[in-house]
Structures are given as C-alpha cells and as structure tokens.
C-alpha cells in the first residue's frame, strides 16, 4: 500500500472561540445505570488539550456509553462532566457545536453523494455561507475523497465510508474529536490507512478521545490510555508506562500440555511474577527480574495486550 497522502491545514479563525481549557474533557465520579445494569461506575477521565487519549476495554466495559455521555445522548445519573469547558448536560449544545463525532455504526445518508453528506453536516454544524465551500473541500482532502466527491455512499468501499465519517466529523474544524471504535470491522490494510489519517490529525494537535478494543490501535495512536473494565477505569497512563508498571519488560511464552502449563504458572507465582494464559500457551511476565531462573520458552517483549488481559481478566463475562 502506498503512503496515505495527508495534507491538513488546521488554522482556525482567530477571535471566534472561547479560550481553550487545559482539559478538553473532564469526568469526575460519573455513574450511568440502565435499570439494574451499571454501565459506567464512578469513572474519572481527563483528556488534556492537544493529546490523544485511548479508552481501551473489552466489549461491554462502558466505552460506548462514555462516548454517548460526552454528547449528552446519554445523561449521567451521578458525577460531573465537562467538555471544552462546558458543563453537561445543560451546556451540551455549546460543546457539541465544537466537537466532531465519528460513530461506531455508520450513519451516513447512503443514497446521497459524498459531497452531499458533507453539505448536510456543514449546515448542521452551522458553518457560515461563505465558509461552507472551503470547509467541504478541506474535509474532502483530509479524507482523500476529492476524486469520489460525486459517488453515492452506497457505492463506496467500507474504508472509504469510514474516511467519509471522519471527514464529516471534521468539516467544521472541531476542537475535539470523539471517535467510537473508528476501525471496527475493517481489513488490516484499511485499518492502517485510517491509522495514518488519525495519526496525522494527532500530530497536528487535534485533541482526540478514541475508544477501541484493538490493543494495537491504542498502542500506536494514543498518548495516554485508560483501561476500562466493568464501567471503571482500572489503569491509565502512556502505553509504555502501563506496560512497564504492570507487565515488566520481557515475557517468556511457554507452550505445552495443560499439566506443564499449570506447573509453570505455579512456579512463576512462587517467584512473585504475574502470568497470563493465551489459550495455547502461558506467558510469564517480567522475567527479567528472575534471570537465570526463567522457564524455558520463547522470549519476547511485553505488550499492552499483556496489560490488557492482566487488568480486564482472562475471561470475558
């Protein structure tokens, strides 16, 4: 695949906006219940301006609910939510005017063209008459869809539709971009293409909150990661830091029969090390601490996936 061409001009008109708060998003003790289910359970979350924060967690951890709370499409039962300095839900409309949202489920108008979809959102986001045309051109360029402007959405590939969703979210040059599982269900090649696009936005200084259950995505794109499980934040920090804190530097991967794996697991626990099962093997984490006594196996660097499984459990319940 060729390099994804990204040309982004990101100068916003001076004097048209409120001062930028240090925290683009701040959640304190947020609780959201649906009947007897507590989807978000006392969540604290900070997204500093100009950074990309990844919400990482298994399905059902409360990531999507958190994203909906940020646009006041869900209303929290407890806690405080501030977005771009606005208190939700009361001031949510002001916040929404300056946020771009990439939803998990494609909700483009499929019988319209690429350009028509952007025209609609240039109106919904209240771009002035004279600004609309350049805004749409800029969004088409960011998403590399200039050539497909007249294509109907139902004729586009899955990757192009995702790019259009991102272009649509950027048409009004938002100060904050919210992306809910931006690459879910896409081929690896298409995913890489989107990563290049998101990374370019990040480098330009766009503030991004992105939820994902793809560990590699969080590791590559996020400045800091918040690991969620059962509606709570279980750990947070830069990916490298999280790995060092929770899984050490190196792991040994031991393959074998169940009895042998159980033995290795027991030995590692005696040595004060943490382990994770991968299905076919057992990984002993942080083995650099017991060099010489490490079990026989394949050495590898620890990953965010090790942390993810340690923190969110080996089984999904």
Cβ 257 to other proteins, closest distance in Å?
49
Total number of residues shown for the chain: 317
74 lies in the site for other proteins, by CB under 8 A? yes
Residue with Cβ nearer other proteins (8 or 94): 94
Provide the 8-state DSSP code for 130.
H
Residue with Cβ nearer other proteins (121 or 308): 121
Region of 73-81, 133-141, 155-163, 257-265 interacting with other proteins (CB under 8 A): 73-81
Distance between CA atoms of residues 232 and 180, nearest Å: 17
Binder of other proteins out of 6, 8, 31, 120 (CB under 8 A): 120
**Binding-site residue total for other proteins (CB under 8 A)?**
34
Cβ 75 to other proteins, closest distance in Å?
6
Distance between CA atoms of residues 187 and 126, nearest Å: 35
37 lies in the site for other proteins, by CB under 8 A? no
Q: How far is CA 67 from CA 108, 283, 316, in A?
A: 19, 33, 21
Strand-pair partners of 43: 30
* Helical (H) or strand (E) element with 277: strand 274-277
Q: Edge-to-edge strand order for the sheet containing 281-285?
A: 274-277, 281-285, 250-255, 298-301
Region of 109-117, 232-240, 289-297, 305-313 interacting with other proteins (CB under 8 A): 109-117
Binder of other proteins out of 112, 184, 196, 261 (CB under 8 A): 112
Distance between CA atoms of residues 174 and 152, nearest Å: 25
Binder of other proteins out of 9, 77, 110, 245 (CB under 8 A): 110
63 lies in the site for other proteins, by CB under 8 A? no
Please report where in the chains the tokens 């109907």 appear, as a residue. 152
Distance between CA atoms of residues 144 and 122, nearest Å: 18
Chain residues in the site for other proteins (CB under 8 A): 18, 34, 68, 71-75, 86, 90-91, 93-94, 96-97, 99, 101, 103, 105-107, 109-112, 116, 119-121, 123-126, 168
């Amino acid at each position: 695949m060729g390099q994804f061409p990204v040309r982004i001009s990101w100068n916003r008109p001076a004097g048209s906006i409120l001062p930028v708060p240090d925290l683009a998003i701040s959640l304190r003790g947020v609780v959201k219940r649906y009947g007897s289910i507590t989807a978000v359970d006392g969540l604290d979350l900070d997204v500093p301006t100009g950074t990309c924060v990844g919400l990482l967690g298994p399905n059902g951890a409360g990531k999507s609910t958190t994203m909906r709370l940020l646009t006041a499409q869900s209303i929290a039962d407890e806690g405080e939510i501030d977005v771009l300095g606005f208190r939700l839900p009361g001031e949510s409309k002001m916040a929404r005017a300056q946020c771009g949202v990439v939803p998990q489920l494609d909700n483009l108008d499929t019988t319209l063209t690429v350009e028509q979809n952007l025209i609609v959102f240039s109106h919904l986001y209240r771009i002035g008459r004279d600004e609309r045309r350049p805004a749409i051109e800029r969004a088409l360029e960011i998403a590399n869809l200039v050539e497909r402007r007249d294509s109907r959405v139902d004729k586009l590939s899955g990757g192009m539709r995702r790019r259009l969703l991102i272009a649509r979210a950027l048409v009004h040059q938002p100060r904050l971009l919210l992306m809910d599982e931006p690459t879910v269900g896409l081929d690896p090649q298409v995913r890489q293409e989107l990563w290049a696009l998101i990374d370019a936005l990040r480098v330009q200084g766009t503030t991004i909150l992105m939820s994902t259950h793809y560990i590699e995505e969080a590791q590559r794109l996020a400045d800091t990661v918040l690991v969620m499980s059962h509606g709570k934040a279980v750990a947070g920090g830069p990916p490298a830091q999280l790995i060092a804190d929770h899984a050490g530097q190196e792991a040994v991967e031991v393959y074998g029969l169940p009895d042998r794996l159980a033995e290795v697991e027991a030995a590692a626990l005696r040595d004060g090390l943490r382990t994770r099962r991968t299905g076919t093997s057992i990984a002993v984490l942080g083995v650099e601490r017991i060099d010489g006594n490490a079990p026989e196996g394949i050495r590898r660097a620890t990953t965010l996936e090790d942390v993810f499984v340690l923190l969110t459990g080996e089984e999904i319940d």
